[in-house]
Chains A and B, each alone.
Chain A
Amino acid sequence: MSRSITPYQTSIGPTHPAFKEPIQLVFDLCGETILKANFAPGQAHRGVEWMGTRRNPVQVLYLAERLCGICGITHSLAFARAVEQIAGIQVPPRAHYIRSIACELERIHSHLLWAGVAAHELGFDSLFYLTWRARERVMDLMEAFTGNRVHYALIQIGGVRRDLSEDMILKIKETLDYYAGVYDELRTCLLEDSSVRLRCRDVGILTATEALELCAVGPTARASGVPSDIRRDHPYAAYADVEVTSVLPNQYTGEIRGDVYDRIVVRVLELQQSVKLIRGFLDQLPEGDLLAIPKIMVLLAKLKKAEGEAVGLHEAPRGEVAHYVRMGGAETIAAWKVKASSYSNYMSWVPMLVGEQVADIPIIAASIDPCISCTDRVMLTGGGRNEVWTKEDLTRLSVAKTRRIQAKLKAEG
Chain B
Amino acid sequence: MSENRRHWKNDPRISAPEQRKTPAEVLELLTASAGEAFLEGRVAEWVEGASTSADPYRQVWLKIHRDALHAVVKRLFGIQFPHFVVIAAEDRGETIELPYIFRLYHGAWHEEILVVITAVVPKSDPVVDTLSDLIAGIVLSEREKQEMIGVVVRNIPDGRRMFLPEDFPQGVYPWRRDETGVADTMVRHLWATGREAFNAREAEKAAAAAEMASAAAPPASAEEGGNP
B50 touching A96, Cβ below 8 Å: yes
State the Cβ distance, B84 to closest chain A Cβ, in Å.
5
A240 touching B8, Cβ below 8 Å: no
State the Cβ distance, B143 to closest chain A Cβ, in Å.
10
B193 touching A339, Cβ below 8 Å: no
B49 touching A347, Cβ below 8 Å: no
- Per the 8 Å Cβ criterion, residues 119-163 of B in contact with A are 135-141, 161-163
* A259 touching B8 in the complex, CB below 8 Å, given contacts A232-B109, A395-B190: yes
State the Cβ distance, B48 to closest chain A Cβ, in Å.
5
B9 touching A208, Cβ below 8 Å: yes
A224 touching B112, Cβ below 8 Å: no
B88 touching A337, Cβ below 8 Å: yes
* Complex Cα–Cα for A319 and B103 (A): 14
Most buried by A among B81, B83, B105, B112: B83
B116 close to A (CB within 8 Å): yes
Point out the residue from B114, B174, B194 that lies within 8 Å of A47, measured CB to CB: B174
B107 close to A (CB within 8 Å): yes
* Complex Cα–Cα for A395 and B189 (A): 11
B48 touching A91, Cβ below 8 Å: yes
B223 close to A (CB within 8 Å): no
A343 touching B194, Cβ below 8 Å: no
A324 touching B86, Cβ below 8 Å: yes
Q: Which residues of B contact A309 (CB under 8 A)?
A: 61, 99, 116
B39 close to A (CB within 8 Å): no
* Complex Cα–Cα for A85 and B59 (A): 12
Q: Which residues of B contact A213 (CB under 8 A)?
A: 135-137
A234 touching B112, Cβ below 8 Å: yes
* A215 touching B53 in the complex, CB below 8 Å, given contacts A334-B90, A399-B193: no
A207 touching B11, Cβ below 8 Å: yes
A240 touching B194, Cβ below 8 Å: no
State the Cβ distance, B174 to closest chain A Cβ, in Å.
5
Q: Which residues of B contact A256 (CB under 8 A)?
A: 8, 10
* Complex Cα–Cα for A202 and B8 (A): 9
Q: Which residues of B contact A41 (CB under 8 A)?
A: 162-163
Residue ID in chain A nearest B164 by CB atoms: A42
B5 touching A205, Cβ below 8 Å: yes
* Complex Cα–Cα for A45 and B87 (A): 18
Point out the residue from A42, A91, A215 that lies within 8 Å of B83, measured CB to CB: A215
B43 close to A (CB within 8 Å): no
Point out the residue from A225, A240, A257, A326 that lies within 8 Å of B51, measured CB to CB: A240
Residue ID in chain B nearest A238 by CB atoms: B50
B73 close to A (CB within 8 Å): no
Residue ID in chain A nearest B61 by CB atoms: A309
A234 touching B57, Cβ below 8 Å: yes
A347 touching B5, Cβ below 8 Å: no
B193 touching A228, Cβ below 8 Å: no
State the Cβ distance, B192 to closest chain A Cβ, in Å.
10
State the Cβ distance, A21 to closest chain B Cβ, in Å.
14
A212 close to B (CB within 8 Å): yes
Q: Is the interface on chain A under 10, 10 to 19, 20 to 34, or 35 or more residues? A: 35 or more
State the Cβ distance, A107 to closest chain B Cβ, in Å.
19
A97 close to B (CB within 8 Å): yes
* Complex Cα–Cα for A217 and B107 (A): 11
* A355 touching B2 in the complex, CB below 8 Å, given contacts A205-B7, A215-B137: yes
Residue ID in chain B nearest A42 by CB atoms: B163
B6 touching A207, Cβ below 8 Å: yes
Q: Which residues of A contact B111 (CB under 8 A)?
A: 233
Residue ID in chain B nearest A350 by CB atoms: B136
B54 close to A (CB within 8 Å): yes
A167 close to B (CB within 8 Å): no
State the Cβ distance, A205 to closest chain B Cβ, in Å.
5
- Per the 8 Å Cβ criterion, residues 202-234 of A in contact with B are 202, 205-209, 212-217, 224-230, 232-234
B49 touching A212, Cβ below 8 Å: no
- Per the 8 Å Cβ criterion, residues 196-218 of B in contact with A are none
Most buried by A among B2, B48, B87, B112: B48
State the Cβ distance, A231 to closest chain B Cβ, in Å.
11
Residue ID in chain B nearest A246 by CB atoms: B107
Point out the residue from A49, A205, A212, A390 that lies within 8 Å of B8, measured CB to CB: A205
- Per the 8 Å Cβ criterion, residues 77-110 of B in contact with A are 81, 83-90, 99, 101, 103, 105-110
Most buried by B among A256, A259, A313, A390: A313
Point out the residue from A50, A205, A335 that lies within 8 Å of B88, measured CB to CB: A335
B71 close to A (CB within 8 Å): no
Point out the residue from B88, B99, B107, B138 that lies within 8 Å of A233, measured CB to CB: B107
Measured CB to CB, the residues of A under 8 A from B are 33, 41-42, 45, 47, 49-50, 81, 84-85, 90-91, 93-94, 96-97, 202, 205-209, 212-217, 224-230, 232-241, 246, 256-259, 286, 309-311, 313, 320, 322, 324, 326, 334-335, 337, 339, 343-344, 346-347, 351, 355, 390-392, 395-396, 399-400
Q: List 24 A-B contacts (CB under 8 A).
A: A33-B2, A42-B162, A42-B164, A84-B48, A85-B48, A91-B48, A97-B50, A205-B8, A207-B8, A208-B9, A225-B10, A227-B107, A228-B103, A232-B110, A233-B108, A233-B110, A235-B110, A236-B57, A239-B49, A257-B7, A309-B116, A310-B46, A346-B140, A347-B140
Measured CB to CB, the residues of B under 8 A from A are 1-2, 4-11, 13-14, 46, 48-51, 53-55, 57-59, 61, 81, 83-90, 99, 101, 103, 105-112, 114, 116, 135-141, 161-165, 174-175, 182, 188, 190, 193-194
- Minimum-distance CB pairs A-B, first 3: A215-B137, A337-B88, A42-B163
Told that A215-B84, A241-B49, A400-B194 touch, could you supply 4 new A-B pairs with CB distance under 8 A? A225-B10, A234-B114, A324-B86, A324-B88
